[in-house]
Structure 1
Amino acid sequence: MLIKIGFDIELGVAAPTALIYMLQVHPSRAADIPAGENITISPPLVTDHCQDVFENHCARVHVPFGVSSVRLRNEAVVFDSGWADPVDYGAVAHAPADLPVSTLPFVLPSRYCEVDSELLQFAWANFGNVAPGWHRVQAICDFVHRHLRFDYQRARATRTALEGFREGVGVCRDFTHLAITLCRCMNIPARYVTGYLGDIGIPAVPYPMDFSAWFEVYLGNRWHTFDARHNTPRIGRIVIARGRDAADVPISMVFGANTLQRFEVTTDEIVQ
């Protein structure tokens, strides 16, 4: 399967500044983009590239005096297996003492995931009797999927997992933060993932195309994909970045006043 991806994002700026973006496909999928991505910046500006501690592609754009807006565009074709997310009911949980040290940051509290809160007691009271491993994570996804009502109009960039739990509403990042937090409360490493997820294999949804958020948990000596928002295996996930929560993987960050002037995302299967 071939999937066309891309974006067209424009940010207005008020003064010389720096703009950081995390919009390139994750290096783990590089082999699936033989022609590469075609990211352009208008106007052409000096840009530094690096990888962060989670091995995500990052870029810093130097915005000089006299530039009032920066437009980022990209298009690429990605090869995908066309398979839905794998399901492994036999994936087992690990005791905290047996977890690889690389997974430990993903069992601790983070900016949007308050493990050290009332959610800790709630998690053990509601999921402690569920068989550990895959079934426990799925029970958490089932709960979050039922508990939160999806509403674009109620999106809030500062909403934490605990606030989402109390308010009962949110968008995909809120579903993801709450599920991650409940998993971590149960000592299951869980990390935040942002990327492309189109309406492939499902009826088209009545929302503008956007980037999506889901999560991965460490069970049975590997990472597995879960999605509390959709709560069903999906086709065509293309990872952009991974981190502890959304704070680690912002699609863009400007040091100073800025306004979003354009935001378009493309994720379409190429029908041959």
Structure 2
Amino acid sequence: MLIRTGYDIEFATEQPVHMLALLHIRPERRKDLVTPEELRTDPPVKIETYNDPFGNVVSRFTVPEGGIRLTNDFIVRDSGKPDPVVRDARQVPVDKLPNDVLPFLLESRYCEVGRLADEAFAAIEGKATGWARAQALVDLAHDRITFDYMKADRHRTARGAWDEEFGVCRDFAHLAIALCRAVNIPARYATGYLGDIGIDPFDDPMDFSAWMEVYLDGRWYTFDARHNRPRIGRIVMAYGRDATDAAITTAFGQTRLKRFDIHTDEVADNDLSKPPEETAIPQHEGCQG
């Protein structure tokens, strides 16, 4: 299947502000590009690109006084298959974990592992190690939080989401990640595109989405505590320990969001030349914050 996706994001500034942006898809998906993926800016600015320690593609540039508009529109090929479910996937003992996986067992800014250990161990009582435990903890996060787009808060942590019992997709992910790490299941934060493909459309405005991956049986598997069911058409943009590592944009100064349009839609071969539909979204914290 083909997915047309991209964004139209605009910031206003009163002075030059340096910015980092994780607005490219992961290097692993470049082979699936049908049309070029190119970050365009208005006005044009010099962009430096590098890979961070998690392998994410980072764009670094300075927003000029007055602001900047960031746009992209591209086609990517996808298998069209839902997230895999492997119920017999086994948990890897900590002493057998690869060195690059170990950091995803540790506490991080938004995932306070120690403050959720009691809740995590209570939820896995009687569950077999591996997939069953990971799913039980994802179920717990899914059932604990009520999605509320208007109550997004970029300062809310996993423990905060547990106590407040509401949040957006990043809060579902942070809570499930912290719970998994508490019982020695490595878990990492993922963000990217997830359109309403193969499901009834949601009423919420389109945004970048956040979910998680857990390490079982020597590989990473996708889990989504907000939706809590396999989905079609995920396009990963960034991985990290939590939203700090995978923030879509990080500004080193004052900025104001003026425009935030995201599109992610399945298209047929004969639809490739049609422009994407625009859906205006007011300034908000969104799934990413």
TM-score of the alignment, normalized to the shorter chain, above 0.5:
yes
Aligned partners of 2:192 and 2:209 also within 8 Å: yes
Alignment-derived partner of residue 137 in structure 1: 134
**Is 1:243 equivalent to 2:240 in the alignment?**
yes
The one-letter code matched in structure 2 to 1:179 is A
> Which of 219, 223, 236 in structure 2 is aligned with 1:222?
219
> Which of 161, 170, 178 in structure 2 is aligned with 1:164?
161
Aligned partners of 2:266 and 2:86: how far apart in 1? 26
**Is 1:213 equivalent to 2:210 in the alignment?**
yes
Alignment-derived partner of residue 173 in structure 1: 170
Any residues of structure 2 matched to 1:1-272 within 5 Å, and which? 1-64=1-64, 67-117=65-115, 119-272=116-269
Aligned partners of 2:189 and 2:3: how far apart in 1? 23
Instruction: Specify the SS of the correspondent of 1:248.
Output: coil
1:114-135 C-alpha deviation (Å, 9 max, x unpaired): 0122x11221122132111001
By how many angstroms is 1:143 displaced? 1.3
Aligned partners of 1:135 and 1:58: how far apart in 2? 35
Structure 1 stretches (4+) deviating beyond 2 angstroms?
none
TM-score by length of 1: 0.97
By how many angstroms is 1:142 displaced? 1.2
The one-letter code matched in structure 2 to 1:36 is P
By how many angstroms is 1:19 displaced? 1.3
How many residue pairs align between the two structures?
269
Aligned partners of 1:128 and 1:107: how far apart in 2? 20
The one-letter code matched in structure 2 to 1:204 is P
In structure 1, stretches of 5+ residues that fail to align are none
Aligned partners of 2:123 and 2:136 also within 8 Å: no
Instruction: Specify the SS of the correspondent of 1:101.
Output: coil
By how many angstroms is 1:175 displaced? 0.3
Aligned partners of 1:16 and 1:271: how far apart in 2? 42
Aligned partners of 2:17 and 2:254 also within 8 Å: no
By how many angstroms is 1:35 displaced? 2.5
TM-score by length of 2: 0.91
The one-letter code matched in structure 1 to 2:156 is R
Q: 1:103 to 1:128 in 2, by over 3 A?
A: farther
Aligned partners of 1:213 and 1:174: how far apart in 2? 9
In structure 2, stretches of 5+ residues that fail to align are 270-289
Identical amino acids, percent of aligned pairs: 49
Aligned partners of 2:152 and 2:201: how far apart in 1? 21
Instruction: Specify the SS of the correspondent of 1:54.
Output: coil
Instruction: Specify the SS of the correspondent of 1:116.
Output: helix
